[in-house]
Amino acid sequence: MREIALVYLDRSGGLQKFMHDCKKYNDSKQSCAVYRFIISINPSDIGELDATLGNYILHKPIQAAQIFQSVCFIAVKTLSLIEQLQTEAQMSILLKPTHLPALPSYVLSLSAFPFNYTSQRFYMSEGIAIAMGTVTKYTQGARFLCTEETCPFSEGRFRYIRVHLPGATESATVRSDFVCSLCSSPLQEDMKFRVLGEKQIVEMIDAKVLNALKGYANDKSHFRIQTFTVFLR
């Protein structure tokens, strides 16, 4: 699947864009804990190249991103695109689909039963934004070091990297109870390498609420409409 991912990036122009994004990081000469890249993908085109990878992207996007992460890391090292990059874990790849299949199973509707949205895959959702919060900062990535001075992981390479994943809370990326896998000593964040991003919380409601507000008759004797929260990162 790595070979197919590379072929797709080359044919779609994604590899050229990736190299351009790498140049911006390389020109800055600033070493970061995490280098973040957004890759646009067309599920239909990938499905024609390889159905297995196409289904993987649609239904297991986090694992599919790891495949592209491996391909992009090899490209960085082979072409010397980012001199500061040391490990594959420092790369954060986000897959951004151009569209999803026009099938009911890919539509997230909180007004329909049953609620079978336990998988961490892509869904389409349509609604009305009724409230928006202010733009705040969140941690995209952080570097941790062992607090035991005699431990080889107390300095040097980027051994312990925490990267924010879609759906994760802030505490999953940064907290104080991480321990070293070598000596079991507590880990401490190296604040110089914290990478921040912006997030915004949007309160939304299903578009079907418009029918209720217009007074349309409903064959159901009772119904309830509830808002849902969207995190924009």
Place 116 in a pLDDT band, splitting at 50, 70 and 90: low
Q: Tell the CATH topology of 1-105.
A: mini-chromosome maintenance (MCM) complex, chain A, domain 1 (3.30.1640)
Other beta carbons within 10 Å of 98:
11
**Can you give the residue ranges of every domain in the chain?**
1-105, 137-195
Other beta carbons within 10 Å of 8:
24
Mean pLDDT for 15-41 is: 92
Reported pTM: 0.84
Q: How far apart are CA 84 and CA 53, in angstroms?
A: 31
**pLDDT, tens only, 98-114:** 999 988 888 887 766 55
Nearest C-alpha neighbor of 135 from the set 204, 203, 200:
200
Look up residue 210 and give its two tokens. 């418009």
DSSP secondary structure string for all residues of 183-205: T-PBEEE-GGG-EEEEEEEEEEE
Place 206 in a pLDDT band, splitting at 50, 70 and 90: confident
Place 166 in a pLDDT band, splitting at 50, 70 and 90: confident
**pLDDT, tens only, 51-92:** 999 999 999 999 999 999 999 999 999 999 999 999 999 999
